[in-house]
Structure 1
């Protein structure tokens, strides 16, 4: 499921870090081309005004880990904010993913 986790990128495994990065590009593209993201907003999986900021947080962590990042995201958003519950997202992430759970134990 496409979503903005909002979780500290340092606490995300490689798969979820890179996956959310791709999803920020997909969601921005959807908004920029006029496709609806209402379902993501209604399910608290997207705070649209934060897409570019979130992308940059993920990209910074990718670079910190030594991954390549060659896909800047420039996105103009005019959608209302629909805040996500980061604590609930984090609980779901570590329940789903053994690697993210391991990272949660590291300080």
Structure 2
């Protein structure tokens, strides 16, 4: 489970779409107080930052549309509360770039 902290334009297809799925899963866990993945470090770092998560989703949607994908899973803006900037990292963005480079995918890092 991962929401990257690098620009969505740099993500390959698999990482962009995977992040989108995982973002939706975290959104549900946090906004509906679901237990699944509620203790996962990636989920925990977004608690109190749903506005930032909502904004990341908007970035994903723009990038998905730029690539010709059909997006049909909007988030409820009324639930986008808390901080608008993510300032907690499991790995710093520089480390995330290294991780993506090691995957050998088509990410532009």
Question: Common fold, TM-score beyond 0.5?
Answer: yes
1:93 matched to 2:100: yes
Relative to the length of structure 2, the TM-score reads 0.74
Matched residue, 1:51: 53
C-alpha contact 2:2 2:42 (8 A) present in aligned 1:
no
Compare the two structures and name the one with the higher helix fraction: 1
Distance 2:81 2:39 in 1: 14
Q: Name the count of aligned residue pairs.
A: 98
Matched residue, 2:26: 27
Q: In the TM superposition, what is the alpha-carbon distance from 1:82 to its structure 2 partner?
A: 5.7
Relative to the length of structure 1, the TM-score reads 0.75
Gaps of at least 5 residues in structure 1 are none
Change in Cα spacing, 1:82 to 1:38, as seen in structure 2 (3 Å) is: farther
Match of 1:62 among 42, 61, 64: 64
